[in-house]
Chain A
Amino acid sequence: MESLKLRAEHLEVLIHAIRADGYQLYGPLLDNGAITYGEIGTASDLPQGWTDEQEGGQYRLKRRADKAYFGYAVGPHSWKQYLQLPRRPVWKASNSGGDLQILEIEEAPVKLAFLGVRSCELHGIAIQDRVFSQGNYSNESYTRRRAELFTIALECTTAADTCFCMSMNTGPYVRLPSDLILTEVVNSDTHFLLIRSGSPEGEAILKQLPTEIATKTDLKQAIEAVDQTAQKMRSGPRNFDSSDLKELLYRNYDSPIWDKVAERCLSCANCTMACPTCFCSTVEDSTDLTGTKAERWERWDSCFTADLSHLSGGPVRADTRTQYRQWMTHKLATWYDQFDSSGCVGCGRCITWCPVGIDITEEVQNIRAQEKP
């Protein structure tokens, strides 16, 4: 089968085709000094020519020497904000004259499209799918929003220092299904996006685009760009063997490392907000002043709040030590028992956005080192 490429200046056509198909298109844009996700109207909304520098507790935007559209890694946002809404009304209730009525709030159907979904993020969505849609019960809001989702995936040609998808086997090559898959190639001679479809919907869009047949050189350049990303992570300090994480953490509930992390961790919950798979939520019930109308809202919650584990006598996990242990052990170990996969996709957001730079990969190594006699 022939490989196709889309010249960079034709990215606009892709964006237009998707929007013309009735999709609300979201993608990366510059906002508040970071590359976040938001609604995309044209290619000029994209952070072209920008990149990011990331380390534990650090994030800086930098100008690139080229005009790459996707020459950066993941930012503080993840796609979950569009699928598992940060805050949403669940139902309204009325109580007039002792007659209680509960009215479920049906969201209007929405067709979402995500532009620039990294492989780790596809894994993140797949993990949330297992949590929200594949058990005995499902989160209806998530499932409906997810059902019509159109993804334009992206093979990473840039990795931040905090990226460790290689260790978690979630990237940078796109292996999970996606409607369209892009690989950006940019150098002094050329700037194009290798493009392939992974679904009939993707194929239908692809057919509308002014694609060209990719040459062997084009293909080679694209493969090399992604290989180079993989190589960077493989040789970086955050490369580790994740095959025994469940057993490692199950053995180490009493590790003194938890006390050490607790000395630094602020229980601020940033990691759980930035994480593409963290799914904890809570509900808030309220009434109006007349006491006849009530509402229930669902919003994101975090295992770093004492309220999450609150029982009548007090919270089960009241201190930072047990909260961090819960978060990390859930992510890397108990998730396997609950949902048949790791809860971590190696995107590195929790490292970058931790205000004190706590690094999950470093803590894994600390626990492992502590264990050795």
Chain B
Amino acid sequence: MKNIASLLHEHPFFHGLSGGDLNFLATCAENSRYKEGEYLAKESAPANHFFLIRSGRVAVETFVPNHGPLCLMTLQDGDIFGWSWLYPPYLTAFDARALSPVRCLRLGGKCLREKCESEPRLGFELMKRFARIATERLQAARIQLLDVYGPHPSQNPVQRRPHL
């Protein structure tokens, strides 16, 4: 049975972090599993956890009245989910539902926050990793907005800069 620190190290999010840092963070982490259909997080609920998906698929959803749940994006092995624990009011923004059996590592949000505060070097390292993923997600969301496969991508109400 692998210990938590080595499981953390296997996840792309923590690649390259020192053993000391991983052991330091491991005390916040626990291994967890979700069945298909189970929710990892619910919109507007306290954002207690940071998730590292080890296997399985997760849908990030929001419920649209008169329509039902609408999937915004799907996540899979190697992806992360949830950073609302990082800043007040520590509430989850979207639903996260397992589309298949999911194995993941769950890090306590409060625990992680406190470790980052006490160890700013590590905190900044993690922040850079979050920022990169958040940027990629933002870029992907913008491309989605462009509706590139739609009949009139140029007429999408996305604000366009000249010579973009």
Q: CB within 8 Å of B: which residues of A?
A: 312-314
Contact = CB atoms under 8 A, between A and B. Distances in A.
Interface residues of B, number: 4
Nearest to A318: B154
Interface string B69-106: 00000000000000000000000000000000000000
Contacts of B151: 312-313
3 closest A-B pairs by beta carbon, nearest first, are: A314-B154, A313-B154, A313-B152
Contacts of A314: 152, 154
Interface residues of A, dominant DSSP: loop
7 contacts: A312-B151, A313-B151, A313-B152, A313-B153, A313-B154, A314-B152, A314-B154
Interface of B: 151-154
A314 B150 CA distance: 13
Contacts of A312: 151
Nearest to A312: B151
A312 B153 CA distance: 10
B78 to A, nearest CB: 34
Nearest to A254: B163
A29 to B, nearest CB: 48
Contacts of A313: 151-154
Nearest to B162: A319
B155 to A, nearest CB: 8
A236 B154 CA distance: 47
B109 to A, nearest CB: 44
A301 B37 CA distance: 59
A313 B155 CA distance: 9
A283 B15 CA distance: 59
Contacts of B152: 313-314
Nearest to A315: B154
A313 B152 CA distance: 5
A312 B151 CA distance: 8
A353 B57 CA distance: 66
A313 B151 CA distance: 6
Nearest to A319: B162
A318 to B, nearest CB: 9
Nearest to A311: B154
Contacts of B153: 313
A103 B152 CA distance: 37
A313 B153 CA distance: 7
A196 B126 CA distance: 85
A66 B153 CA distance: 64
A38 B153 CA distance: 49
B100 to A, nearest CB: 37
A314 B160 CA distance: 15
Nearest to A314: B154
Contacts of B154: 313-314
Nearest to B152: A313
Nearest to B163: A254
A314 B153 CA distance: 9
A235 B118 CA distance: 79
B115 to A, nearest CB: 48
B42 to A, nearest CB: 39
A49 to B, nearest CB: 54
A313 B147 CA distance: 12
A63 B153 CA distance: 59
A312 B152 CA distance: 8
A256 to B, nearest CB: 12
A50 B66 CA distance: 81
A338 B152 CA distance: 32
A306 to B, nearest CB: 13
A28 to B, nearest CB: 46
B103 to A, nearest CB: 43
